[in-house]
A and B are shown apart, each in its own frame.
Chain A
Amino acid sequence: EPEVTQTPSHQVTQMGQEVILRCVPISNHLYFYWYRQILGQKVEFLVSFYNNEISEKSEIFDDQFSVERPDGSNFTLKIRSTKLEDSAMYFCARSRDTDTQYFGPGTRLTVL
């Protein structure tokens, strides 16, 4: 199974601070995704990214969130001003096509 790495594994931040979560996917994968999972709840889709632009986003993905591939390999999720309710596990995923998505181990974000 192709590997995806995410950094950091755990991020603690104060409410109102900006955080950047990073994902390093396989270079020949074209589709990238971010999902989140609030403790004890479902995994929720945030955004998909294809050909260096957002292809789809959910209602959760409001103006506080942004994604980019700053150097053509890393894939980042930025939360501009964190809220308590942003505390969750954030998963990066990627796929070669529209089928199987491979997930990273996640970043646990704790907002105090």
Chain B
Amino acid sequence: SQQGEEDPQALSIQEGENATMNCSYKTSINNLQWYRQNSGRGLVHLILIRSNEREKHSGRLRVTLDTSKKSSSLLITASRAADTASYFCATVPWVTGGGNKLTFGTGTQLKVEL
């Protein structure tokens, strides 16, 4: 598998339900970030979690990171139709001397229906 793969590839839920997306990666990381992309638009930064953190919250978002399994999950609680978008995880490698390019995953397409 490639660095940064999300599953599921597509997720369809009803408004008010929770949505969980998972991301796996292969190399050691400095941090992991989640982004949202509405169809044909730019990428919006949602949340960043560092390699020494296990869980982080921001509003209706909850991110977990398990560095032993090289995986992360994004939970959106009480979803709304406006949450419909593609969600990507992106990793920044742990590199001596810096280096902060983002390596993106394949993304999860979330559809929230009324």
Residue on B with the closest CB to A35? B102
Q: Complex Cα distance A100/B31, Å?
A: 10
Residue on B with the closest CB to A47? B101
Q: Complex Cα distance A106/B45, Å?
A: 14
Number of interface residues of B (CB under 8 A): 25
- 26 A-B pairs with CB atoms under 8 Å apart are A1-B44, A1-B45, A33-B102, A35-B104, A42-B105, A42-B107, A43-B88, A44-B104, A48-B101, A55-B98, A56-B99, A58-B101, A89-B40, A93-B43, A93-B102, A99-B48, A99-B100, A100-B33, A100-B45, A100-B48, A101-B33, A101-B45, A101-B102, A102-B45, A103-B42, A106-B41
Which residues B35-82 have CB closer than 8 A to chain A?
35, 40-45, 48
Q: A43-B104, A48-B101, A99-B31 are in contact. List 18 more A-B contacts (CB 8 A).
A: A33-B102, A35-B104, A42-B88, A42-B104, A43-B88, A45-B102, A56-B101, A89-B40, A91-B42, A95-B100, A100-B48, A101-B33, A101-B100, A101-B102, A103-B42, A103-B43, A104-B42, A105-B42
CB distance from B85 to the nearest CB of A (A): 14
Q: Is A106 within 8 A of B42, CB to CB?
A: yes
Q: Chain B contacts of A106 at CB under 8 A?
A: 41-42
- Chain A interface residue number, banded: 20 to 34
Q: Complex Cα distance A104/B33, Å?
A: 17
Q: Chain B contacts of A95 at CB under 8 A?
A: 100
